[in-house]
Amino acid sequence: MSLVNLHQVHKYYGDHHVLKGIDLDINAGEVISIIGKSGSGKSTLLRCINGLEEYQQGGITLDGNEVTTEDIQVRRLALSVGMIFQNFNLFPHMTVGENIMLAPTIVLKKSKAEAADIAKAMLEKVGLAEKFDSYPEKLSGGQQQRVAIARALAMSPKVLLCDEITSALDPELVGEVLKVLEQLAKEGMTLILVTHEMNFARDVGSRVVFMHKGKVWEQGDSKTLLSDPQTDELKQFIGAVL
C-alpha cells in the first residue's frame, strides 16, 4: 500500500479552482520533486497532504489515515508527517535545543532527558551539534534551516514535506541544506519536495511531478522525465529554468 495517496483532489480558494483533480501515489522511500511555475498549486498540494489546507473534493490518505483539517486529525497526522518551511519558522525565544525538544516533550510526552538525547542526535545528523544552546537569530539561514530539519526529524516522521526550503537562502548556503536532504534520502526517508533545484531533483530524486494549471501535467522517473519531457509545457518549463 502506498504511504501517501491522493485521489481526484480538488481545491478551491473561493471561486479560484487551484487543484483540479490530483491523483498521486507515493511509496515509502520515494523522493518526489514537485516542480512547476509559480501559482501552479505546488504549495497548496503539499499543504493539503498534512491537513494545513482544506480540499473540497476527492480524498487523501496518509499511512492509511484519512487527511482532514480537523484539529485532532491534523495532530494525528503530525505524528507521521514533518514539514519544513521556506522561512524556517524556528521559535525565536527558544534555543536550538529547546526548539527541537519542545514537541517530543509536550506532544510525545517524552522525558526532558530523553528529548535532549534525541535533540542532540538530530543536531549531530545535520552537523550542528555545537549549536545546542544558541538562539536561532545567531545562526545563518542555512544553519537555521538545518535546525528546522532536525526539529522535524525529532518527531520521527515517515514523510517530510519541504516547501522550497532553499529558496530563502543565499546561494552559497543552499548546498549544506541539500546535503542533509541527500543524506536523508539515502537513509530511506520519504521526501516530498517543492523545489527549483533541478540538479537535485535529477540526481537525488526518484520521481518528478510537474504541476501545471492545478494538474499533475506530467510525472515520471526523475532522470528520464527531465532529459526527455513529453509535453510542450514541461519542455518549456525546463527550457526556462535551466
If one asks whether residue 152 binds other proteins (CB under 8 A), the answer comes out as yes
Q: Find the shortest distance in angstroms from Cβ 95 to ligand ATP.
A: 31
**Please, what sign has the CA dihedral across residues 212, 217, 219, 225?**
negative
- Work out what residue 38 binds among ligand ATP, Mg ion, other proteins, none; the CB cut-off runs from 5 to 8 Å by kind: ligand ATP
* Residue with Cβ nearer other proteins (50 or 222): 50
- Work out what residue 44 binds among other proteins, Mg ion, ligand ATP, none; the CB cut-off runs from 5 to 8 Å by kind: ligand ATP
- Work out what residue 152 binds among ligand ATP, Mg ion, other proteins, none; the CB cut-off runs from 5 to 8 Å by kind: other proteins
> Per residue, what are the HEC states of 68-121?
CCCHHHHHHHHCCEEEECCCCCCCCCCCHHHHHHHHHHHCCCCCHHHHHHHHHH
d(C-alpha 76, C-alpha 87), whole Å = 24
Of 40, 80, 166, 195, the one binding ligand ATP by CB under 6 A: 40
Of 18, 123, 173, 178, the one binding ligand ATP by CB under 6 A: 18
The count of residues interacting with ligand ATP (CB under 6 A) is 11
* Residue with Cβ nearer ligand ATP (55 or 128): 55
Of 13, 199, 203, 224, the one binding ligand ATP by CB under 6 A: 13
d(C-alpha 8, C-alpha 23), whole Å = 5
* Residue with Cβ nearer other proteins (92 or 239): 92
Tell me how far the alpha carbon of residue 39 is from its chain's centroid.
18
If one asks whether residue 166 binds Mg ion (CB under 5 A), the answer comes out as no
Q: Find the shortest distance in angstroms from Cβ 93 to other proteins.
A: 5
Among candidates 124, 167, 119, which has minimal Cα distance to 145? 167
If one asks whether residue 71 binds other proteins (CB under 8 A), the answer comes out as yes
If one asks whether residue 65 binds other proteins (CB under 8 A), the answer comes out as no
If one asks whether residue 155 binds other proteins (CB under 8 A), the answer comes out as yes
Among candidates 33, 26, 29, which has minimal Cα distance to 186? 29
Say what the alpha-carbon torsion angle 162, 164, 168, 172 is, to the nearest 10 degrees: 90
Strand-by-strand arrangement of the 215-221 sheet: 81-84, 159-163, 190-194, 31-36, 207-212, 215-221
> Do 116 and 101 form a contact (C-beta atoms < 8 A)?
yes
Q: Find the shortest distance in angstroms from Cβ 91 to other proteins.
A: 6
Site residues for Mg ion, window 40-79 (CB under 5 A)? 43
What is the binding site for other proteins (CB under 8 A)?
50, 52, 71, 74-75, 78-79, 81-83, 85, 87, 89-95, 102-103, 106-108, 135, 137-138, 151-152, 155
